Amino acid sequence: MTTNSALEYWPAPVAHTPVRASVHVPASKSLTNRYLTLATLAALNPENTAPTVLHNPLASRDSDLMVQALAAMGITMTEAADGSWQFNRATKTEAAAQGQEAAAPVYIECGLAGTVMRFAPVLAALIGGDYIFDGDPGARVRPMSELLSALAQQGVELTQLDEQHNPITCAAGQEMTLPFRLRSTGSLPGGTVTLDSTATSQYITALLFLGVGTESPLTIVHTGAKVPSPDHIDMTVQLLAEHGISVAGRGPRWTVTPGRIAGFTTTVEPDLSNAGPFLAAAVVTGGTVSVPHWPARTTQVGDQWRTLLPRFGARVEFTPDAHDSSVGTLTVTGSSEQDPDGRVSFPGGGTISDASELAPTLAAIAALANSPTTLTGIAHLRGHETDRLAALTTEINALGGSVVETADGLQITPAPLQAGDFGSYHDHRMATAGAIIGLAVPGIRVENIATTAKTMPDFPQLWADMVGETATAESGS
Ligand SMILES: O=C(O)C1=C[C@@H](OP(=O)(O)O)[C@@H](O)[C@H](O)C1
Ligand SMILES: C=C(OP(=O)(O)O)C(=O)O
């Protein structure tokens, strides 16, 4: 199945033997873009004199877009020889001057990055000025309206734009989204904002960051059903606490006490969600994959691989590092069972709730299992890089699979899969899901593997190295 015939196809490497490899996974997107947001809040703190230094930041499309957005707002990053990123103080007046005195609005490109399209408008609102936000065609249909309405409740002026960036009026019932123009005085009162955050947890994260800089405490009231991806909100709350900002309440109501963030130095953890496809390689080939520098304690949702993968018959071991107890190596070994045709045989995961950004990887594993898996609590994946529920159903079924889309998830019943093309829909996690299936099913070609650059530009090389490492080990033994 193709989503754009002009794009190239990547023949997914097949694992002819169980994969055995150790993989260094690049840094976390969610942490990098949160630290970039905190670095901005620190840079704007008039009492702060310390720089912010990020070691092991993620270099990827989403984090580059965030760095560029900050630069457009007057917060510039310098990269040191060791690859670390440094931010120096920038007074709010200097930063705002970019937006307030510019003849034309400052342009902020969001690409397809949810974190940029939700976190950067909040920073622009706090800095003040006149901005236009836009992104990829796929970003223009991602949810934004409830966050923009919360900003409007704080006095921020927002205007819907057409694709040529001319102002237009939203039709009745039409939701505001990219592209839009944002004008702010830079002075936001605080008080209470009310919104429905069922579309994405990133609205809440963005508003928690907003509360750092409002004139009085900011209470965020969520009015809808469950907020998705609660781990990502916990990550924000914990990071704010580590930087001296207190958040009271755990939802559906949160109150942030404004405060001043000092410059800080930190090392970004590996992206545990992106570790998923590599660990999945062990599961679907009956091999062993290790990921070093796995944090002993973390706020990342990807730490759940430790409990999720055993449901698919895998053994998971964490070996603490002998010299640094804050990290260790996570090793996943897949089932050694085989079916009568000599293929690796492992159970499905049963019912898994709220897997959020882990869902595409889980769906790929589940499609290769020997019993069903049901993923629930992920209706909001329809507003991710693409409608992931529709995309996974279409692409796995096109290979002969049996996936049924439900109101809030997927039911995946194993069925023999055959060679074919796997559409990626400009979605990094669709591309890596195709790569996982391709390890076990010869003849899979993944459309536009380069889309993995959103969070992991080296994915094709890391994947080839992982499979190659296995081949080398096999031929040497
Ligand atoms: O705040 C974040 O860093 C993220 C929050 C989650 O968004 P949703 O709440 O939209 O799932 C997650 O899926 C996304 O990949 C990253
Ligand atoms: C949903 C995702 O990304 P974003 O940060 O663009 O929302 C994701 O990475 O799975």
Going by C-beta distance under 8 Å and a sequence separation of 6 or more, which residues neighbour residue 132? Answer: 105, 106, 107, 108, 161, 165, 179, 180, 181, 182
pLDDT single digits (tens) 374-408: 999 999 999 999 999 999 999 999 999 999 999 99
pLDDT single digits (tens) 137-174: 999 999 999 999 999 999 999 999 999 999 999 888 88
pLDDT of 477 reads: 43
Q: Which residues of 113-127 are buried (b: 16+ CB within 10 A; e: fewer)?
A: bbbbbbbbbbbbbbb
Whether 164 has a binding-site annotation, put simply, is no
Smallest CA separation from ligand 2 atom 4, residue = 114
Smallest CA-to-CA distance from 213 within 123, 87, 151 is with 123
pLDDT of 88 reads: 82
Q: Is 115 in the pocket of ligand 1 (CB under 6 A)?
A: yes
Q: What is the 3-state secondary structure (H, E, C) of the chain?
A: CCCCCCCCEEECCCCCCCCEEECCCCECHHHHHHHHHHHHHHHCCCCCCCCEEEECCCCCHHHHHHHHHHHHCCCCEEECCCCCEEECCCCHHHHHHHHHHCCCCEEEECCCCHHHHHHHHHHHHHHCEEEEEECCHHHHHCCCHHHHHHHHHCCCEEEEECCCCCECCCCCCCCCCCCEEEEECCCCCCEEEEECCCCCCHHHHHHHHHCCCCCCCEEEEECCCCCCCHHHHHHHHHHHHHCCCCEECCCCEEEECCCCCCCCEEECCECHHHHHHHHHHHHHHCCEEEEEEEECCCCCHHHHHHHHHHHHCCEEEEEECCCCCCEEEEEEECCCCECCCCCECCCCCEEEECCHHHHHHHHHHHHCCCCCEEEECCHHHHHCCCCHHHHHHHHHHHCCCEEEEECCEEEEECCCCCCEEECCCCCHHHHHHHHHHHHHCCCEEEECHHHHHHCCCCHHHHHHHHHHHHHHHHHHC
Q: Where in the sequence of the chain do the CATH 3.65.10.10 domains occur?
A: 9-26+270-476, 29-267
pLDDT single digits (tens) 201-239: 999 999 999 999 999 999 999 999 999 999 999 999 999
Instruction: Give mean pLDDT, residues 303-327.
Output: 97
Whether 222 has a binding-site annotation, put simply, is no
Residues tagged active-site? 357
pLDDT single digits (tens) 22-56: 999 999 999 999 999 999 999 999 888 899 999 99
Atom of ligand 1 nearest to the CA of 233: 1
Class of domain 9-26+270-476: alpha beta
Taking the domain 29-267, which CATH number applies?
3.65.10.10
Atom of ligand 1 nearest to the CA of 202: 1
Q: How far is the CA of 232 from the centre of ligand 1 (A)?
A: 6
| Residues listed for the chain | 477
In a mutational test of the pocket of ligand 1, which residue from 37, 65, 222, 229 has the highest number of ligand atoms less than 8 Å from its CB?
A: 229
Calpha distance 11→102 (Å, rounded):
48
Mean pLDDT score of the chain:
94
Q: Is the ipTM of this complex over 0.90?
A: yes
Smallest CA separation from ligand 1 atom 12, residue = 357
In a mutational test of the pocket of ligand 1, which residue from 62, 203, 356 has the highest number of ligand atoms less than 8 Å from its CB?
A: 356
Whether 229 has a binding-site annotation, put simply, is yes
pLDDT of 146 reads: 98
pLDDT single digits (tens) 347-360: 999 999 999 999 99
Q: Is 200 in the pocket of ligand 1 (CB under 6 A)?
A: yes
Smallest CA separation from ligand 2 atom 5, residue = 114
Q: 320 near 53, Cβ under 8 Å?
A: no
Q: Is 197 in the pocket of ligand 1 (CB under 6 A)?
A: no
Whether 371 has a binding-site annotation, put simply, is no
Confidence class for position 97, pLDDT limits 50, 70, 90? low
pLDDT of 199 reads: 98
Q: How far is the CA of 118 from the centre of ligand 2 (A)?
A: 11
Instruction: Give mean pLDDT, residues 314-324.
Output: 97
Q: Is 30 in the pocket of ligand 1 (CB under 6 A)?
A: yes
Smallest CA separation from ligand 1 atom 13, residue = 357
pLDDT of 173 reads: 84
Smallest CA separation from ligand 1 atom 2, residue = 30
Residue 252 confidence (pLDDT) above 90: yes
Q: Is the pLDDT higher at 469 or at 83?
A: 83
Whether 454 has a binding-site annotation, put simply, is yes
Bridge partners (DSSP) listed for residue 265: 53
Q: How far is the CA of 150 from the centre of ligand 1 (A)?
A: 19
Bridge partners (DSSP) listed for residue 11: 445
Instruction: Give mean pLDDT, residues 110-124.
Output: 98
Q: What percent of the chain has pLDDT above 90?
A: 90
CB neighbours of residue 338 within 10 Å:
11
Q: How far is the CA of 274 from the centre of ligand 2 (A)?
A: 11
Q: How far is the CA of 428 from the centre of ligand 2 (A)?
A: 9
pLDDT of 443 reads: 98
Ligand 2, CB within 6 Å, residue ranges: 113-115, 357, 384-385, 429, 455
Whether 202 has a binding-site annotation, put simply, is yes
**pTM for the full model?**
0.96
